[in-house]
Amino acid sequence: MAESYKHEQSRVSFEDFYVDHRSSDEESPFDFCKRYGWGVEIFKMFIFDYLIINRDRHGANLEVLKNRDIKLSPLFDNGLSFVCSCTDEADLDTFDFMDDRPVNCFIGTKRLGMNLRLIDENIEFAALSESDKDRLFAGLHGVLPGRYFDVIWEIIWKRWQDVKKFRVE
90-148 residue pLDDT tens: 899 898 989 988 899 999 999 999 999 999 888 888 889 989 999 999 998 888 887 88
Task: Categorize the per-residue pLDDT at 168 as very low, low, confident or very high, splitting at 50, 70 and 90.
Answer: very low
pTM of the model: 0.89
> What are the boundaries of each domain within the chain?
10-166
CA 107 to CA 22: how far, in whole Å? 13
State the architecture of 10-166 in CATH terms.
Answer: Orthogonal Bundle (1.10)
